[in-house]
Amino acid sequence: AGIEISGINGEVMPGQWEFQVGPCLGISSGDQVWVARYILERIAEIAGAIVSFDPKPVKGDWNGAGAHTNYS
């Protein structure tokens, strides 16, 4: 799909993962993120897994999952 995935890593909360998109030029970064999320949801659907964009999907004192975006 031409998505510029530059990294992936596990986070603090159980089952929480993060991937990095970029580097991208201009507004293509927004397109990259939307398409990457769409593909993630379709793959999860095929695999019978659940994807959540909820900032606090697990009860407890865990780091949030804020779906943050960094630009530099």
What is the distance of C-alpha 2 from the center of its chain? 16
CB within 8 Å of 23: residues ≥ 6 apart: 4, 6
User: Model pTM?
Assistant: 0.75
Tens digit of pLDDT at every position of the chain (72 positions): 788 888 988 888 888 888 888 888 888 988 998 999 999 999 999 999 998 888 777 788 777 676 677 776
Contact, 55 vs 67, CB < 8 A?
yes
Contact, 21 vs 3, CB < 8 A?
yes
Contact, 17 vs 65, CB < 8 A?
no
